[in-house]
A and B are shown apart, each in its own frame.
Chain A
Amino acid sequence: MAITNPGSKMNDSWVGIQRGQRVRPWAWLVEKGIFLVSLSAILMIFLIFVFVAREALPIFLGQVSTASGQKVIPVADMEKLTPAELQAYLGLTPRQYAEMDTDTKRTLMEVKIEELKGISKDPDTALNTVAWRQMIFGHQWSGYPAPVYIWQPVSEVQKYNIIPLLLGSLKATLVALLFSVPLSLGAAIYVSQLANPRVREWLKPMIELLAGIPSVVLGFFGLIVLATVLQKVFGYQSRLNAFVAGIALGLAIIPGVFSIAEDALTSVPRTYTQAALALGSSRWQAAWQIVLPAAIPGVFAAVVLGFGRAIGETMVVLMASGNASIVSWNIFDSARTMTATIAAEMAEAVVGGTHYRILFMLGTLLFVVTFVANLAGDLVIHRLKRRLEGKSA
């Protein structure tokens, strides 16, 4: 109020008194409180990372092995084993062993034999499939004519190659960015620089309204409508693919990218445009050649955030990408992303088992990828800002 009525003397003096006063204790408290809240946000991110990474740690350290080489011991030989041998064979803790009676141990031995006999004669069962070599490079499994990249975790020989998933995530994200960045940037330039105020009034909220659509609805839209329409237009074979998922994903990230880019463009001082117009440039030239370059750091930040959102989005890709784990750069082939894999497979993974740990490893990987992308984005923005301010060459 005081600032909007500069003419009133009473208000002016009131402002003066405010300025001269010492800081009130509650203001100090509020300030520290806000500081604590922001600190807790950082702590929270750190803790999330620690917990996710902890579950995946045995994979990173190579402590997990899927290789099986246990020999079958007939139930009749149970008496011949020493307690320590029996305990190790049945995989019991000392306490479980002490508390269990002989009959139960006998039943457990029978079950163990059943389990060991269930393992197929496939030579690959002796192989540790969660070694990095098997997870990153192609491997020629028995029965396959050539080395292949296979993600097939529920199988006689569990195959955990992460390349198809990485590729799937990258493909869908790339399509999403290629589709949404030009559109949202164009919209941002138009809304902030060229549109007349009346149009801007309703256009901006309309685009931002897209952010309110739940991703599961977008996914469903992709699955039912987009997939059919795009297949008719482009005539490719597989109805659900990285392209459909990417377009639906693009719809999800447009409002975010648009909002930030529009803010960045609007915050370029009006004097820039006015100077350009005064020198005889058209509105379009001013927007394209003066305002956009000045706002580049913000625009870049918008794109990086869009990338983070796209690679982390789950529901849209789960529904619209087809989820086939194949290695192919063709965007019209179906793709399986890391996020969709985690969402689809976590429910059945045995807690603490190999599959479970691998899924957490994928989560860690995603975290690292988005973190590095954001960090790199930040660095580039800083550099651009300094260059624009003329601080370095």
Chain B
Amino acid sequence: MSLAELNARLAAKPAAELRVDGLSVTYNTARGPFHAVEDVGFTVPAGTNLGLVGESGCGKSTVVKALMGLLPEGTGLTGRALLDGDDILGLTDDALRDVRWNRIALITQSAMNSLDPVYSIGDQIVEAIRAHEPVGRATAWARAEEMFALVGLPAARLTEFPHMFSGGMRQRAVIAMALALNAGMLLADEPTTALDPIMQSQIMARIRGIHAHMRRSMVLVTHDIAVVAETCETTVVMYAGKVVESGPTGQVLGRPLHPYTMGLQNAFPRLPVRGAPRQPLISIPGVVPNLASPPPGCRFAGRCPFAADLCRTTPPPVAAAGPQQAACHFTDRAEEFRAAAALPETWRKMRAAA
């Protein structure tokens, strides 16, 4: 198969749709079961980007691992993840081989660890292409050169090894590799964390470009809500293993219903506006509960300035306001909470009580 034929064949792949439903993941640890993810559900319509946000330990990376079939053996896994209608959870190794890279590709968090140090980067991309497409080495190499051009790396550097690349270049190489087979669904797990802002902005410009140029679907996992605001149509906010809020990005980040989302929003550093009073930066007091023994009611109750007795005893129902949904007992008071959450005193009182 020639390069033109290969490109035409890959370009014909449609963007994928992903429906995750009732996903729960339980790690078995020496100290007993650990419910990292509980009853998570979301839908990525074909050709759109979904942002999965939350702080460390909220289970967002576990969701990615479950989707890629990367969880350790013996991990409890329930629910469904339908990729264009096919359930991709708990597949056998053989079946997974057909799905990974080909239909769903991963841009990992630490580019250093996801490249093999003893093979040249070109060889690694060629290997991924040839594992899925019946092409010769020369054709696969030519495809790899095109992918490098796409992410702004010189083709001559394909022969180099990972250690010869800077952090930002490695991250771009990983993106090139994830794009090589034009999978319908991309999972990007913290693709820019630990990079400085200039590099982050360059990488995100490229990732956004993929979306516009190739019409792929993407799940972007990050703790940076501004990156989500600039990139994703849909936002899903996770806290302590559960989805607390989801919906169209403009609504979730613009008019949040859940106090946790309000907290995240106020904790985000903004540029000062000259003349205007400086907006206070407000942190969310307390720490994420231990998921080995999660609290009986709302998991955010311990850190929530608006928590009532009901919140500490009864898990909140999911309330919907149009396409926006939040797991909170008091979504009807969201307007009032938003005003209070913007004041540092509201959260400071919590800290004093904690």
Q: Tell me whether A and B are bound partners.
A: no
